[in-house]
Structure 1
Amino acid sequence: MFQAKPQSNAIAASLIIVAAAFIAGTTLMAKALGTQTLGAPLPALQISHGRFLFAFIALTTVAAFLRPTLSRPHWRLHLARTSFGWAGVTLMFASVAYIPLADATAISFLNPVFGMMLAIPLLGEAVGRVRWSAAVLALIGALILLRPTPDSFQPAALLALGAAMVMGLELIFIKKLAGRENPFQILLVNNMIGLGIATCAVLPVWQMPTPAQWGVLAGIGTCMAVAQACFVNAMARADASFVAPFSYATLIFAALYDSIFYGTRPDGITYLGAAIILTGALWLALREARLKKQPVPVRTSV
C-alpha cells in the first residue's frame, strides 16, 4: 500500500506544464542528434537507447536515496507496455529529424484516439457516437498535417503517425497496470525493461557518439525521467480529466524550441491541423470525464 498524495489542482497543473516543457525538450535534443547539428547523425535506435539508459540511471539513483517499497511486478504487462513505449519513442525520435517539432508533436496527440479505438477489441469498451466523432475530427487534423499533395506530402510524418498508433497500444497496458503497483515502481520497471530492449535493438547500428552527443543523450534520459516523475505526481494529485488538457502545452514548447534553435516557423497548415487534433483530443478527454462522473443508475426510469 502507498499513501495517496494531497489533492491540489494547482500543483497538478504546474507539474504537467513542467513535464510538457521537458518532453518537448527531449524531442528538440533528439532532433539535434538525428541531424548534423552535433556531428554525424545518430540512428533513432541509438537515441532511444540513450533515453532509456540515462533515465534508468537517474531513477535508480533516486531509488538508492529514497529506498521506496517495491512489490512483485506484473512482468507480462510491463513487458507489453514497455515494448510499445520503446517503439513509439523510437519512431517519434526518427520523425523529428525530418519534420518540424510542432507537426510531430501534434500528430503524437493522436495516441489517446488510437487508444480509444484499440480499447474496443482489447478491453471490450463501448464507444458511442460522440467519442467516434471526436476521434474522426482528430484524424482529419492528422491528415491535414500529412499534407497529402504531391508537392507537400511529408513521408516522415508517417513515422510520427506510427508513433501515435503504437503509443495508443501502450495506453491499453498502462490502463491495465493502473492501481496495481506503486507509480515509482512502474517507472523504474518500465525503464529497466526499456533499456534491455533498446540495448538489443541498437547493437547492429551503434556508433561512437562525440562528447557533445553523449551529453545530449544524458540530457534526453534525465529530462524524460523528470517529465515522467512530474506526470505521475500530477496524476496522483488531481483527476486525469483535469490534468490531460494541460499536457497539450507540449505543442507550445515544441514550436517555441523549434523556432528558437532551428528558426522553424509553423505555417498555416500546421496551425490548422494542430488546432483540429487538439480540439478532437480535448473533446474526447472532456467526454471521458463526463462519463466517469455519471452515477450508475439503480433502475431504468424510462
Structure 2
Amino acid sequence: MTPARHNPPLAALLILAASALLAGTTLLAKALGTDELGPPLHPMQISHGRFLFAFLVIACTVGVLRPRLSRPHWGLHIGRTSFGWVGITLMFASVAYIPISDATAISFLNPVFAMILAIPLLKESIGPWRWFAAAVALAGALVLLRPTPDSFQPAALLALAAAASIGMELIFIKKLAGREVPLQILLINNAMGLTIASVAVSFVFRTPTSEQWAALAGIGVLMACAQACFVNGMARADASFVAPISYATLVFAALYDFTVFRVVPDHISLTGSAIILFGGLVLVWREARTAPPITSRKDPNR
C-alpha cells in the first residue's frame, strides 16, 4: 500500500475537520438524550444508531474501494470494540446532563488512562514528565467534577468512566497498529460494535421520531467521516504535530453548546478544561521529544 505523502497543512485541515465532526456527534447525542427532538432516547439506543449508520457508511466505502483485506486478529478486535462501545455509550449518557465542553474536556483524559494502563498491559516504563502530565490532567478533571456538596456533578463521573474505557480501547488499538489496514480495522470495529449495540438496545428500544432517526443517522455519518479524516490526517504528519490540533474539538463543542443550547462555560469549566489541555500538551511535547523523526520510520502498511 502506497504511504500517504507528508503534507502537514493538509493534515492540519483534516484533523480540524475531524474535530468539528466529532464535536457534532456529541451535540446530536445531547439533543437525543434530552427532549429537544422528542422523548429522550436511552444512551444505549443512541450508541446503537452511531454504530448502525457508521457501519453502513464504512461498508459502502469498502464495497467501492475494495481494499485488500487480511486475516483479522479477532481477540484484539473484540477487546477494542467492547471497551469502545462502553466508552461511547457512557459519553453519550454524560452529555445529556453536563455541558458538552465539560464532557469533551474530560474525554481528553483517555490518552492519560491509556498511558497508565500501558504499564501493566504493555510493560511500558513511564518517566517523570509523563507522570507530571497525567497528574495535571487528572487535577483538571477533579476541577470539572466540582467536588463540593453544592456543585458536585455526578454525571461527570460518567464522562470520566468513558475516558477510562476509551483509554483501554487505545491499548488494543496500539496492539492492532500495523497489523491490518485502517479501513479493515474500521469495518470490523463498527460491525462488532453494531452487534454488541443491537443486543443491548433490545432491552431499551423505543421507536424514534423522524427527527430522532435523522439525528441518529447524523451521528453515524459524522463519526464515520471524522474517523476517515483523522486516519488520513495522522498519515500525513507526525503525531506530535496533529495531536494538539485535535484539542480544537473542545472549542467546537463549546461553540455548538452555546449556539444550540445557549450554554455558556463558567469559570470552573474554563479552568478545568485549561488544566486538562495543559496536561495533554505536556504529554504531546514529551512524546515529540522521544519519538523518532517520521523519515526514519517504516510504513506499517507497506
Give the structure-2-normalised TM-score.
Answer: 0.96
Superposition misfits of 4+ residues, deviation over 2 angstroms: none
Tell me if 1:252 matches 2:246. no
Partners of 2:176 and 2:126 in 1: CA distance: 22
The alpha-carbon deviation at position 289 of structure 1 amounts to: 1.7
Query: 3-state DSSP class of the match of 1:73?
Result: coil
Match for 1:3: what amino acid? Answer: T
The alpha-carbon deviation at position 90 of structure 1 amounts to: 0.3
Residue 297 (structure 1) aligns with:
none
Residue 181 (structure 1) aligns with:
180
Query: 3-state DSSP class of the match of 2:189?
Result: helix
Tell me if 1:144 matches 2:133. no
Partners of 2:187 and 2:237 in 1: CA distance: 22
Partners of 1:188 and 1:246 in 2: CA distance: 26
Equivalence map 1:127-276=2 (5 Å): 127-276=126-275
The alpha-carbon deviation at position 28 of structure 1 amounts to: 0.2
The alpha-carbon deviation at position 201 of structure 1 amounts to: 0.9
Equivalence map 1:1-302=2 (5 Å): 2-293=1-292
CA deviation profile, 1:241-273 (whole Å, cap 9, x unmatched): 111111100000000000000000000001100
Partners of 2:189 and 2:236 in 1: CA distance: 22
The alpha-carbon deviation at position 98 of structure 1 amounts to: 0.2
The alpha-carbon deviation at position 240 of structure 1 amounts to: 1.2
The alpha-carbon deviation at position 63 of structure 1 amounts to: 1.4
Gaps of 5+ in 2: 294-302
Partners of 2:13 and 2:185 in 1: CA distance: 22
Residue 299 (structure 1) aligns with:
none
CA deviation profile, 1:54-105 (whole Å, cap 9, x unmatched): 0000111111211111111111101100111111000000000000000000
Partners of 2:161 and 2:260 in 1: CA distance: 26
CA deviation profile, 1:147-184 (whole Å, cap 9, x unmatched): 00011000000000000000110110110011111111
Partners of 1:70 and 1:99 in 2: CA distance: 41
The alpha-carbon deviation at position 130 of structure 1 amounts to: 1.0
The alpha-carbon deviation at position 293 of structure 1 amounts to: 3.0
Match for 1:227: what amino acid? Answer: A
Gaps of 5+ in 1: 295-302
Match for 1:207: what amino acid? Answer: R
Partners of 1:217 and 1:209 in 2: CA distance: 9
Query: 3-state DSSP class of the match of 1:36?
Result: coil
Match for 2:170: what amino acid? Answer: L
Partners of 1:39 and 1:131 in 2: CA distance: 45
Partners of 1:233 and 1:87 in 2: CA distance: 26
The alpha-carbon deviation at position 4 of structure 1 amounts to: 0.6
Partners of 1:259 and 1:286 in 2: CA distance: 31
Match for 2:237: what amino acid? Answer: A
Match for 1:31: what amino acid? Answer: K
Partners of 1:171 and 1:63 in 2: CA distance: 23
Partners of 2:66 and 2:112 in 1: CA distance: 37
Query: 3-state DSSP class of the match of 1:156?
Result: helix
Partners of 2:146 and 2:48 in 1: CA distance: 31
Alignment identity in percent? 66
Aligned length: 293
The alpha-carbon deviation at position 292 of structure 1 amounts to: 1.6
Partners of 1:178 and 1:109 in 2: CA distance: 21
Partners of 1:239 and 1:174 in 2: CA distance: 18
Partners of 2:283 and 2:184 in 1: CA distance: 29
Match for 1:209: what amino acid? Answer: P
Partners of 1:282 and 1:125 in 2: CA distance: 20
Partners of 1:269 and 1:214 in 2: CA distance: 35
Partners of 2:117 and 2:58 in 1: CA distance: 31
Query: 3-state DSSP class of the match of 2:41?
Result: coil
Partners of 1:203 and 1:286 in 2: CA distance: 45
Query: 3-state DSSP class of the match of 2:5?
Result: coil
Moved more, 59-68 or 118-127: 59-68
